[in-house]
Chain A
Amino acid sequence: MDAAAPLLELRDVTKRFGGLVAVRALNFAIHRGEVLGLIGPNGAGKSTTFNLIGGFYAPTAGEVLFESRRITGSEPHVAARMGIVRTFQHGSVFRDLTVRDNITVGATATVRGHASREARVRETARMLGLEHRLDDPAQALPSGHQRLLSIAIAMAAQPVLLCLDEPLAGLNPAETQEVLDVIARIRRELGVTVLLVEHNVGAVMRICDRIVVLNFGAKLAEGTPVEVRENEHVIDAYLGRAN
């Protein structure tokens, strides 16, 4: 495996729903160990791209490559076992289960054996600061902790590429910082690559190494936060309007 090759690559990926083109000839790459942000106005194609990467949609055209292997059209659970694990918007937890059971589900596919699974659950809970709440029902957690739990579930599945879908939505500044710290720690201590879809542009600027901006299903700009912030197309289409 070529160490310099990107971890994930989208090559000319198009997704059509009937007459609607959600994503058009999209090209970008994610490099190992980086935190990549995916931003853009509503309807820009962020969710579609996320679903394409995770295997929840199959592209109408184009290729998705992971670790230089073609994974286009793989089913979600297959992509997950390869190392692409994602969270969902609006509650990416199992409401009726306890915190422990939530994380156990995350670990089930990738950790064999009851004892190792329990160990992984405790380890993941500790990393996310949830070790004292293992027996609480997920519903009882405040939203900030539920968000951490959703990340814990994904981390229990031992991702190589962790895809977080709007992890900061609806969080107050303290909770937001906590999640950002967790993301930073995950990348630093475990070498997990992170892809982030977010509306909180300020947070994205702080934590991401690079940013891809989408608009109307196509890539508008790509680069470091500074480059993107100063890109006039982006300012016109997105950042300017947000002000």
Chain B
Amino acid sequence: MRAKLGRALLGALVAGLPAILFGVATDGSYLGQMLIWAAAACVQAASLRLVMLIGEINLSTAGFCAIGAYGAGYLGSTFGVPMLASLAFGALLAAALSVPFGYLTFRSKGPYFLLIGFCVSEVVRLLLTRAEFLGGNSGLVGIVPDLPSYAAIAAFLAVLTIVALYIAETSTLGLLFRAIRNHEPLVQAVGINVRRVKIACLAIASAAVGLSGGLQAYANSVIAPGDFSFLLSVYALAYVKFGGDGSVIGACLGAVLLTVISQYMLGLGADQTILFGGALLVGLIVMPRGVYGTVLALLHRLRRGRTATGIAIPVARDGT
């Protein structure tokens, strides 16, 4: 356990420190903005992946992202609550609301749970358009960071969140997640309240994605319901499948690659939907292990000189 924590912190340092320094250097510029978007995307991808550990595709991601964004934005812009407190509130609000949602909806699985998540994201978006005190269709404005070097702060918070997700994944709780995916009744049969474990998974994932929403709110200073349609969930799925669902590194890699490509090289609109749709298809059909997983497998093969035993152990791919 201590070894895993050490490894997590090391990984966080290696990836996070450059990101934070980059944030300090580019704060206020377009590159700084892009860093924040990439950071938020990484958190969304890691969050979606956490729920995939229990074997579900959680399209309610967009809905809870919206809740976190609006929670933080409302507190920050309307009541002038300090940014860090608002961000924390957004994350906790998303987590809190995810508990009754999970309690109700975890009686269903697979395609049904997926479709319910999709509906919930749409319901949240529609409700937000009717909520005049939150700006309705035109959205909430005036969400401004009250600390310097926001890009660096956002990167730091994102790294912290992803490390927390990694710790959750490699803890005993994470072990239960994977066991549930393999054989849920057996987990019940040895005395574990599976529904509670699933709800815990969703709550952690929703807190993370709620924070990402808050980060985006402070980055863009304006948020509108249209920013949080179910497409956001599908984009998160594209990050994970394209980057590689075998590890949190793969998910983040997918998020960074797709964010950079879409922001740097393409215009908005049509090009972006083609990119994300295509990336999702590539991740499903051509590269089931994702970019990261494929690269690792190649390196493994080169190092060994022959193919590995071929037994797939999802978490082991990142070296654990």
A94 with B178: in contact, given A76-B185, A140-B311 (CB under 8 Å)?
yes
A104 with B172: in contact, given A77-B188, A88-B189 (CB under 8 Å)?
yes
A75, B107: Cα distance in complex, Å:
14
A76 adjacent to B178 (CB under 8 Å): no
A157 adjacent to B186 (CB under 8 Å): no
Contact residue range for chain A? 35 or more
A77 with B191: in contact, given A88-B185, A96-B314, A137-B311 (CB under 8 Å)?
yes
A57, B1: Cα distance in complex, Å:
38
A140 contacts which chain B residues (CB < 8 A)?
309, 311
Question: Which label, helix, strand, loop or mixed, suits the secondary structure of the B interface?
Answer: helix
A88 adjacent to B183 (CB under 8 Å): yes
Cβ distance B125 to chain A, nearest Cβ, rounded Å:
36
B183 adjacent to A92 (CB under 8 Å): yes
A217 within 8 A of B: no
A77 adjacent to B192 (CB under 8 Å): yes
A80 adjacent to B182 (CB under 8 Å): no
A101 contacts which chain B residues (CB < 8 A)?
175, 179
Tell me the B1-16 residues at the A interface (CB within 8 Å).
1
Q: Out of B176, B183, B189, B192, which one reaches A54, CB within 8 Å?
A: B189
Interface-forming stretch among A28-36, A108-116, A167-175, A184-192? A108-116
A54, B183: Cα distance in complex, Å:
16
A97, B312: Cα distance in complex, Å:
10
A88 contacts which chain B residues (CB < 8 A)?
183, 185-186, 189
Q: Out of A97, A114, A139, A157, which one reaches B190, CB within 8 Å?
A: A157
A105 within 8 A of B: yes
- Per CB-CB distance, the 10 closest pairs between chain A and chain B, nearest first, are A109-B191, A80-B191, A157-B190, A76-B188, A94-B182, A81-B191, A105-B179, A106-B190, A94-B179, A109-B192
5 pairs from A and B in contact (CB 8 Å cutoff):
A77-B193, A94-B179, A96-B312, A97-B175, A101-B179
Q: Footprint of A on B, CB under 8 Å? A: 1, 172, 175-176, 178-179, 181-183, 185-194, 309, 311-314
Q: Footprint of B on A, CB under 8 Å? A: 54, 56, 75-77, 80-81, 85-88, 91-98, 101, 104-106, 108-110, 114, 117, 137, 139-140, 153-154, 156-157
